[in-house]
Amino acid sequence: MLKRVAIIAAGLFAVLLLVVATRPGHLHIERSMSMAAPPSVVFPLIDDFHAWQSWSPWEKLDPNMKREITGAPSGNGSLYSWVGNDDVGSGTMQITDSSPPQQVKIRLEFKQPWAATNTTTFTLAPTSSPAGGTRVTWSMDGENSFGAKAMGLVMDMDQMVGKDFESGLTNLQAVAEAAAEAQRAALAKPLEAPNVPAAVGEPGAGSEASAH
């Protein structure tokens, strides 16, 4: 009896290994959103890690998260490192390709709670919005290890990470549209006439001129 149970268990385990091994080896997650702000406004919010605190979906998961930005202040070579609680883990992001205002590519390396290296890409395309708009596509690509494939049997990575992308894009939309509106308001504001003193002899030129 025990031998039969062992054979059945071994057979089920072999089937499980086969199922895991045949799962997709490539990971691709993608979400897009349109926003009423031109690429020239949206791009710096992505290309500069200092601006991520205003829209990143992970920034508020751990109020005590330690972050450090080194290398270039923005664009190619800029490196963002973080260490936080179990919700955010730890890792690094480095901009490897900055092509304003169309694309930003980032090498994303997770160290905790599990190790993984992926490529994150932001693609910006202008839309036909009268005020100038942008369609932002946020994607992530990587190769699934055997462990990641096994995890995929019980966790929907597209749904889990995709929800974060959707939340981040919604935040980015709000920040970008507010910045674009402020920019439009500043350009529409009429210039104030300079305060030039009246010439001597003109009304209000001074007590000496008015005395004559």
Domain regions of the chain by residue span: 26-189
CB neighbour list of residue 202: distance below 8 Å, 6 or more residues apart: 209
pLDDT at 145 over 50: yes
Residues 105, 98: Cα–Cα separation, whole Å: 7
Position with higher pLDDT, 88 vs 148: 88
The answer to whether 110 touches 88, Cβ cutoff 8 Å, is no
For 2-18, what is the mean pLDDT? Answer: 56
End-to-end Cα distance, the chain: 126
Window from 48-57, 138-147, 161-170, 174-183 with minimum mean pLDDT = 138-147
Are 35 and 176 contacting, i.e. CB atoms less than 8 angstroms apart? yes
pLDDT score, position 212: 44
Q: How many Å apart are CA 17 and CA 62, to the nearest integer?
A: 36
Examine the pLDDT at 4 and tell me if it is beyond 60.
Answer: yes
Amino acid found at 123: T
pLDDT of residue 211: 46
Task: With cut-offs at 50, 70 and 90, classify the pLDDT of residue 160.
Answer: confident
Q: How confident is the model at residue 193 (pLDDT cuts 50, 70, 90)?
A: low
Higher pLDDT, residue 170 or 19: 170
* Average pLDDT estimate for 85-94: 95
Task: Report the Cα 96 to chain-centroid distance in Å.
Answer: 15
Under CATH, which number does the domain 26-189 receive?
3.30.530.20
Confidence of residue 84 (pLDDT cuts 50, 70, 90): very high
Please indicate, yes or no, whether the overall pTM of this predicted structure exceeds 0.95: no
Rounded to the nearest integer, the mean pLDDT of the chain is 83
pLDDT at residue 148, as a whole number: 52
Most confident listed range (5-9, 26-30, 94-98, 151-155): 94-98
CA distance 82 to 92: 6
